[in-house]
């Protein structure tokens, strides 16, 4: 899916409603913005409460919330 948006004053960009709906973005949500060459990559940023229900492992076991949080912090910051 692709669309065009205009860069406005102070660098603001309005994400078209169809794209916001597809990503489940709501007012106040955080997005991660990366630059790859001449492209801006915008991804929905997961928040701690978005992890609800994801504590079961694919092997049928489970992990503690602390373990999940620690892994996410390592991914984001490279350390705990």
**In degrees rounded to 5, what are phi and psi of residue 68?**
-65, -45
- Specify the pLDDT at position 80: 53
Predicted TM-score of the model (pTM): 0.51
Please give the tally of structural domains in the chain: 2
Angle at 15 between CA 2 and CA 7, to 5 degrees: 95
Mean pLDDT of 1-30: 89
Tell me which residue range forms the domain holding 61.
46-80
- Specify the pLDDT at position 24: 86
Q: Is 52 in the same domain as 80?
A: yes
CA distance linking residue 44 with residue 33, whole number of Å: 9
Q: Is 19 in the same domain as 41?
A: yes
């Amino acid at each position: 899916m692709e669309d065009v948006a205009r860069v406005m004053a102070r660098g603001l960009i309005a994400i078209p409603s169809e794209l916001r709906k597809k990503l489940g973005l709501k007012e106040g949500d955080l997005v991660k913005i990366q630059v790859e060459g001449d492209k801006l990559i915008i991804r929905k940023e997961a928040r701690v409460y978005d992890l609800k229900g994801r504590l079961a492992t694919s092997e049928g076991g489970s992990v503690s919330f602390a373990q999940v949080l620690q892994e996410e912090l390592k991914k984001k910051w490279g350390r705990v």
